Chains A and B, each alone.
Chain A
Amino acid sequence: MSADRATSRLELREIWLALPERGGGRRLLVPPLSLSVAPGEVVTLMGPSGCGKSSLLAYLCGTLDPAIRAGGRVLLDGVDLTDLPPERRRLGILFQDDLLFPHLSVGENLAFGLRPGDLDRAARRARVEAALAGAGLGGFADRDPATLSGGQRARVALLRTLLSEPRALLLDEPFSKLDATLRATFRRAVFDHARARALPTLLVTHDPADAAAAGGTVIALETTESGDAAPDAAGTRPPRRGVTRA
């Protein structure tokens, strides 16, 4: 797969998330968080379920549920993405589930990810076939995703994201539903691809083994107590806490 290999750096500046509570207060989900991910680096955010990890990634993508309040800036290669619509941010994301579109064939799922560009139909088809062959899934283009095994589906989901030529990779516990042997293989495949393309990668997980395999910086996110003061929309500075560098 050719891709633009322009190295880029993913930066999070003072990103916070809070849930509005009855009575006008807010419960801070993620305290102001600043970090920087270098090209090819994997940074892991660790935290228990319900601590707002997935919401944080949704905020980065621009797909956060509007019921959750959030602030802070997302930068890619110094360019502020925060006000761009999700489809123009070019942040690839993998979820816990593969989320292959059930009404499309495996090949159509991949073609959905492929940028429109100036490729004609045959060339697009060739790109898809080549990607599948490269992942050991040659000849799978016309298959129904529902007939694939869990590991195969996970690989197709990864290919679909990579074909969309993202400039950074966000991983929302994409290994947690795979069984132990598959998990290790798939994890390695994801990290290898990310490094090969020099993609800054942000992984959220509650599994220490994921963090160990990622081998990069690990940041622990803690759930904060209810009733904490949270910044209002005007942007007053919230207190710094709840984040520890490991």
Chain B
Amino acid sequence: MAAALRQLNGGGAAPAGRRPLLQPLRLVPGVTLFLFLAPIAAGLIGTLLPAFGWLPDLGGERFGLHPWRALFAAPGLAGAVRLTLVSGLLATVLSLLLVLGFCAACHDTRLFARLRRLLAPLLAMPHAATAIGLAFLIAPSGWILRLLSPWATGWDTPPDIATVQDAYGLALVGGLMLKETPYLLLMTLGALDQVQAKRTLAVARALGYAPAAAWLKTVLPRVYPQIRLPVYAVLAFSLSVVDMALILGPGTPPPLAPMVLRWFYDPDLAMRFQAAAGAVLQLGLAAAAILLWHGLERLVARLARPWLAGGGRGAGGRLGRAVAGTAMATVFATAGLGLLSLAVWSVARRWQYPDALPAAWTLDNWARHLGALAWPTWTTLTVGLAAAGAALVLALGCLENEQRHGVRPSSRGLWLLYAPLLVPQVSFLFGAQALTAGLGIGGTWPALVWSHLLFVLPYLFLSLADPYRALDDRYARAALCLGASPARVFWRVKLPMLLRPALFALAIGFAVSVAQYLPTLFAGGGRYVTLTTEAVTLAAGADRRVIAVYALLQALLPLLAFAGALAVPGWLYRRRYALAGMR
């Protein structure tokens, strides 16, 4: 995929002695690009036109600025924009600082290695379940206050303070950090391997630099360019998140994205014009924030030059290590406790404030909702497996095409890959409905899978590309020279050797699909509900025990997928020593 453009442009000459030109494999990058870019392009057009008054289905047959006038007259818009910018920027800045600070201060500690191993389950947690878990912890009647009351706080009833859905969006910032910190940490860890940080650090340490100073001065300048796109993706996501904002963010006014969503679903269809203008405004906010961030990057890089070459060796950094380590451990612990609180609530019969644990336990919550759970669980499973499976096939096809035809991955391809993660969902998903409707699949299961594929493919591809490209190509060459066809080499040599990363990528893809809220809402056309849409809907006010059942199941599915991705190769290769311990 990353190399798809070059391939389309005819780049990469076919080496001598290769197969004839007409091969299905050669079509894969093009098909992938179409599946990928068509909905975004169509979606942006389908949002832009109504934003300027054009939507013939609803009688909008003249271009004009009335959607914008309606948008700017909407009550609470200024507050929504302010809230969006503050919470989105704050969540991104804090997550990035936390990750960089932790890597700088703690890269050589045991905590670093330990948290690294816990990363996968944390990444697997869907946003909605994470947000609900956090709410269950920090709400005035949440677990933390229950554990502290009444002996420490003296409260016998929940205090009247808004710790969730607070007007400043701080709970939302916290929830975003629980998801973005592990993601940025994962991306940074991958970049560290790429730039061979260990060797650089050894040189800097030998020159007398303290660990943190050595990391910040020699590793960060090379790691940051590698994580720039992920940071932009985090920024765009934080500014436009819907499901977490519905659960943790304030309601009056909400951040811009949930506000726009509310307008799209307003019974008064004329509101669609205003909603489209709001979606374009959302796009503008994300673009402006990324540009601003890019400017700040350059400013920081310039200001840091004298410091980089200034020769300061830095101090021991005990305090920094303690602070950064504690902060990162807190993120991991909070996410873990949130998951645990979901589990406890899902089997609670009676749990009065301020008891630390339920007074009575029961499986009734599960038994009673088994019937209602079946259909959303089935949809979640089938859509997730289909989207992840399709993405795996496309990613493998692109990567195999790249290797067989000697196409080099390009940075332009990487930007294309990130496109669905950089454009706010609310800005194009509504418009993309026009495309699926035009193809006659609006609101159907294939449209739902397709909409998930947009977000599954980038993550899956990025996870698979490095191990795929890193496989020693002499294995394939040896197999070819033994008389095996390229197809046989792929199926019998490469794929089995890459089974572990391939299944891991599949699990990532599945987890991404399970987490999707807005695509399910729009592409499902209301006909398809998943555990995610149900959990978000229920979070607005249902019984905590019911919310917990849905949210826990939503979190368990990806966790099971990851467990399977580890267990299957482990079992298959239990007698293959060289493959058993990999990863």
What is the interface of chain A, defined by CB distance below 8 A to chain B? 58, 61-67, 70, 81-93, 95, 97, 99, 101-104, 112-113, 115, 144-147, 160-161, 164, 166
Contact = CB atoms under 8 A, between A and B. Distances in A.
Nearest to B498: A103
A99 B482 contact: no
B497 A164 contact: no
B405 interface: yes
Contacts of B474: 95, 97, 99
A115 B522 CA distance: 54
Contacts of A88: 483
Interface string B462-492: 0000000000101111111111111000001
B576 interface: yes
A101 B475 CA distance: 7
B579 A66 contact: no
Contacts of B18: 62, 85
B16 A144 contact: no
Rank and list the top 4 A-B pairs by shortest CB-CB distance, nearest first.
A66-B406, A146-B577, A102-B578, A62-B17
A97 B478 CA distance: 11
Contacts of B405: 66
Interface in B1-30: 12-19
26 contacts: A61-B477, A62-B15, A62-B18, A64-B15, A66-B13, A81-B17, A82-B16, A82-B17, A84-B17, A85-B486, A86-B480, A87-B486, A92-B481, A93-B477, A99-B472, A99-B474, A101-B475, A102-B497, A103-B497, A103-B579, A104-B496, A113-B482, A113-B483, A146-B577, A146-B578, A164-B483
Contacts of A93: 477-478, 481
Nearest to A72: B16
Interface in B567-583: 573, 575-579
Interface in B395-418: 405-406, 408
Contact of B16 (A70, A97, A102, A113): A70
A227 B497 CA distance: 40
A86 B477 contact: yes
B498 to A, nearest CB: 10
A189 B75 CA distance: 87
B70 interface: no
Contacts of B485: 85, 87
Contacts of B476: 63
Nearest to A170: B481
Nearest to B573: A103
B578 A145 contact: yes
B477 A85 contact: no
Given A102-B576, A103-B497, A83 B482 contact: no
Nearest to B406: A66
B493 interface: yes
Nearest to B497: A103
Centre residue among B17, B405, B406, B575 by max chain A CB count within 10 A: B17
B492 A112 contact: yes
A144 B499 CA distance: 17
Contacts of A66: 12-15, 405-406
Contact size class for B?
Answer: 35 or more
A190 to B, nearest CB: 16
B481 A85 contact: no
A112 B15 contact: no
Nearest to B580: A146
B481 A86 contact: yes
Nearest to B484: A87
Contact of A115 (B17, B483, B497, B577): B483
Contacts of A84: 17
Contacts of A82: 16-17
B406 A67 contact: yes
B483 A90 contact: yes
Contacts of B480: 61-63, 85-87
B16 A62 contact: yes
A144 B575 contact: yes
Interface in B106-147: none
Most buried by A among B474, B477, B483: B483
Contacts of A81: 17
A61 B478 CA distance: 10
A145 B475 CA distance: 14
Contacts of B499: 103
A67 B485 CA distance: 22
Nearest to A94: B478
A89 B484 CA distance: 11
A91 B481 contact: yes
A86 B579 CA distance: 27
Contacts of B478: 93, 95, 99
A85 B575 contact: no
B67 to A, nearest CB: 51
Contacts of B475: 99, 101
Contacts of A101: 475, 479, 493, 496-497
B19 A146 contact: no
A97 B578 CA distance: 14
A68 B481 CA distance: 19
Contacts of A103: 496-497, 499, 573, 576, 579
A146 B580 CA distance: 11
B484 A112 contact: yes
B17 to A, nearest CB: 4
Contacts of A164: 481-483
Contacts of B17: 62, 81-86, 89
A164 B481 CA distance: 9
Contacts of B479: 101, 112
A49 to B, nearest CB: 16
B581 to A, nearest CB: 10
A101 B477 CA distance: 12
A102 B477 contact: no
A135 B30 CA distance: 50
Contacts of B579: 102-103
A92 B578 CA distance: 25
Interface in B38-74: none
B156 to A, nearest CB: 63
A161 B482 contact: yes
Nearest to A143: B575
A76 to B, nearest CB: 13
Nearest to A95: B474
B479 to A, nearest CB: 7
Contacts of A112: 479, 482, 484, 492
Interface centre among B14, B16, B474 (most CB of A within 10 A): B16
A12 B136 CA distance: 74
A88 to B, nearest CB: 8
A150 B155 CA distance: 71
Q: Which of A88, A89, A146, A161 has the most CB of B within 10 A?
A: A146
Given A83-B16, A99-B475, A101-B497, A160 B482 contact: yes
A146 B15 contact: no
A65 B405 CA distance: 9
A147 to B, nearest CB: 6
A63 B486 CA distance: 11
Given A66-B14, A85-B486, A147-B577, 10 more contacts: A61-B481, A66-B405, A82-B16, A83-B16, A85-B485, A102-B576, A103-B576, A144-B578, A164-B483, A166-B481
Nearest to B485: A87
B18 to A, nearest CB: 6
Given A99-B474, A112-B482, A115-B483, A144 B576 contact: yes
